[in-house]
Amino acid sequence: MGFFTPNGSKYRYVGIWYNNYPEFNPVWVANRERPIEDSLGKVMISEDGNLVIMDGKKDVVWSSN
């Protein structure tokens, strides 16, 4: 699990992929609807216990709930 930028894209996503696979192919992407436009994004656990992804402006771009 981690941040990645697809080839030919300027956007960053958080996803899960297989490490020992010949090609990079994410099997799950959290923020596909709202990609991060900078390299300052972070994944956090919020005070209410949800997994959240924030961009560099500290706006929540994805939440588990």
CB 3 within 8 A of CB 13: yes
Residues of the chain with pLDDT under 50: none
When computed from its CA atoms, the radius of gyration of the chain, rounded to whole angstroms, is 12
Hey, where are the domains in the chain?
A: 2-63
Residue with tokens 């992407």: 29
Question: How many other C-beta atoms can be found within 10 angstroms of the C-beta atom of residue 61?
Answer: 20
The pLDDT score that the predictor gives to residue 65 is 87
18: amino acid identity, one letter: Y
The pLDDT score that the predictor gives to residue 37 is 95
Q: How far is CA 11 from CA 3, 15, 39, 65, in A?
A: 10, 13, 9, 23
Q: What is the pLDDT of residues 44-53, one digit of tens each?
A: 999 999 999 9
The pLDDT score that the predictor gives to residue 13 is 98
pTM passes above 0.85? yes
